[in-house]
Structure 1
Amino acid sequence: MKKNKMNYRLYLVTEEGLPLNKLLQVVGESVAGGVTVVQLREKKTEAKDFYDRALKVKKLLDSLSVPLIINDRVDVALAVGAAGVHVGQSDLPLPAVKKVIPESMIVGVSARTVEEAIAAEEEGADYIGVGSVFPTSTKADAKLLPTGVLQHIVSAVSIPVVAIGGINEINIGSLKDSGAAGAAIVSALTRAANPKGTAEKLLKCINGVYSF
């Protein structure tokens, strides 16, 4: 089964532990403002609760024709029929993930070095998440990416690269010459008083940053 082409331009990554109603509100309003893909990230949530939340988020996103990516949990991604799964360097290795998911499922991989990015592409990743490009408070173990690494990774691989980490409407313009395919946003949307308006502003910034 052929994979759907993914638009990574404005990529919402949800924040851990949001109450369900708040989560659905943030997702719905963010999509209304221009978010093109949503990753559900629940690092500490037990499997059943993660599954239940994923089902509800997917139902909402299906009605809005926006794909859902599940962070880490391949089992949850399969169980809810998500469009894809995103894994980190310490999660289930990509070759193992590819063995159990359908060919139609998108797989993203986090990378901090050119070597990790090249390896991910060679193993079949569909896109790469690279960060943290700016200081962030939403991921305790996130390390700031050295200057120039994002651009080097973009140049080293032929698959889309999504920048993540502390991105907001103030600093996103500095990604202009990075070559990234999109920006992954966490707190700038999940903690926004008006997620729709914030997404619209981010999208306007992005349209000035990315040329495609």
Structure 2
Amino acid sequence: MCKVVCVTALTLCENAHKQLEKIAESGADMLVLRAKELTEDEYKKLAARVMEMFAESSTKVVLHNFVGAALELGAECIHLPLGVLRGLDDDTKSKFRLIGASCHSTEDALEAQTLGAGYVTAGHVFKTDCKKGLAGRGLDFVRKVSGAVDIPVYGIGGISPENAGKVIRAGADGVCVMSGFMSGEPHMLTEKLREVMNMRITGDKLRLYAITDPALVKERGIVSCVESALKGGANIIQLRDKQCGHEGLVAQARELLPVCHKYGAPLIVNDDWQAAIEAGADGVHVGIEDAPVDEIRAKAGGGFMIGATAKTVAQAQNAQAAGADYLGVGALFPSPTKTNAIPVSKALFSEIAGAVSIPCVAIGGISLENIGTLAGMGAEGFAVVSAVFGADDIESRTARLKELISGMF
């Protein structure tokens, strides 16, 4: 489970003692007791009170910066700037069960890991008042740090329930939140963060989203074509057949389900959520004019995946509020399978992706030739139809697309 870490900034609290009591009951995984405005003696007194306050709490207290105070108090956990960690000898490090370190580059994270850190914070990810005038390092920074080290990476800086899911899908193992915990009801914040971080579908399962088309499959057979796409690296399959009817969709989905699961890929049925449930598929994708997401969620339950089409910020936010797990946003290019599709510009896609916390998948006319132009707009996956199932060699074409997509993350 992804971790929720509270980092204190007690000067932001109206009543610091009362807020800390609330945090102790919030269910957060860790409290990093940060108080840069205090001297070490002042900090030691504060830390002693906080450790006593959290003695029965499930939230682990991690002291910050002052090694001497932590040793005197017998603290098991400490978080350090990298410069302080560099100066610790092995004997001092051995006194702590867990050491965390603040990192601002991949090189920092690798060094912290070598020096014995059990986790690192990577930031700042987004623009934040704590770093006024500085742009956030962004999600690509989180991806690079997370991919470089074997220890947990927690994103920090400007993180809220609106963007925490994106940080996790970029590879982080948890998030650190400061100002959000310093007022209001911390338990509600923790619940919301856990909700968006532990989604039914994550970006890595949406990277290459292959959608079937019977006109392209023809006599080759849908099972054979889908398995070829999966062998090539497709992450998720959508069964789309507007002509076969409910019973036909159920029969095809039942055939495809064991093949998809053999390769660890979810199977989504287009439009007909009842067929998806009847066949045991993993979920459904619905268009703007199909059954409402909230009605499907109410009937299908929490474990059923729901994707929804969105072409505006309002549609995206409404779908997310209704319980959608991801969005299909497009058409980015003219599409041979949907000739009347309303175009969506890259700028609008970025605006939509920035307005929601669930993953957004780009769709519409995407091909080998143009997919590279979609980098950097916030897409967490790319849906293709003819680019995969229109190829003579489906496996090779899929593998090439997957290679191009992998280079974008």
Q: TM-score range by the shorter chain?
A: over 0.9
Which residue does the alignment assign to 1:103? 302
In the alignment, residue 297 of structure 2 is paired with which amino acid?
K
Which residue does the alignment assign to 2:396? 197
How far does residue 4 in structure 1 lie from its aligned partner after superposition? Answer: 4.4
The structure in which a higher percent of residues are helix is: 2
Which residue does the alignment assign to 1:33? 232
How far does residue 25 in structure 1 lie from its aligned partner after superposition? Answer: 1.8
Superposition pairs of residues 57-206 of structure 1, within 5 angstroms? 57-206=256-405
Contact 2:293 2:324 in 1 (8 A): yes
Aligned with 2:265: secondary structure? coil
Flag structure 1 segments of 5+ consecutive residues without an equivalent. none
CA distance in 1, matches of 2:394, 2:242: 23
2:213 to 4, 11, 15: 15
CA distance in 2, matches of 1:108, 1:70: 10
Contact 1:26 1:189 in 2 (8 A): no
In the alignment, residue 42 of structure 1 is paired with which amino acid?
D
Flag structure 2 segments of 5+ consecutive residues without an equivalent. 1-197
- Deviations 1:97-129 (CA, angstroms, capped at 9, x unpaired): 111102111110000111101111111111000
2:245 to 43, 46, 49: 46
Segments ≥4 residues shifted beyond 3 Å: 2-6, 16-21
How far does residue 21 in structure 1 lie from its aligned partner after superposition? Answer: 4.6
Aligned with 2:327: secondary structure? strand
Mean CA deviation greater in 134-143 or 186-195 = 134-143
How far does residue 59 in structure 1 lie from its aligned partner after superposition? Answer: 2.3
- Deviations 1:119-150 (CA, angstroms, capped at 9, x unpaired): 11111111000011111111233122134111
Aligned with 2:376: secondary structure? coil
Instruction: Specify whether residues 26 and 176 from structure 1 end up closer, same or farther in structure 2 by C-alpha distance, changes over 3 A only.
Output: same
Identical aligned residues as a percent: 34
Contact 1:107 1:127 in 2 (8 A): yes
CA distance in 1, matches of 2:230, 2:346: 31
CA distance in 1, matches of 2:330, 2:275: 24
- Deviations 1:64-122 (CA, angstroms, capped at 9, x unpaired): 22110011101111001111111111000111111110211111000011110111111
How far does residue 180 in structure 1 lie from its aligned partner after superposition? Answer: 0.5
- Deviations 1:41-68 (CA, angstroms, capped at 9, x unpaired): 1122211111111111112212222110
CA distance in 2, matches of 1:4, 1:157: 16
CA distance in 2, matches of 1:101, 1:141: 31
TM-score by length of 2: 0.49
Aligned length: 209
Which residue does the alignment assign to 1:24? 223
CA distance in 1, matches of 2:285, 2:339: 18
CA distance in 1, matches of 2:201, 2:308: 17
TM-score by length of 1: 0.93
CA distance in 2, matches of 1:52, 1:3: 28
- Deviations 1:163-188 (CA, angstroms, capped at 9, x unpaired): 00111111001111111101001001
Indicate the structure whose relative CO is greater, using CA pairs within 8 Å and at least 6 residues apart.
1
Contact 2:285 2:306 in 1 (8 A): yes
Aligned with 1:148: secondary structure? helix
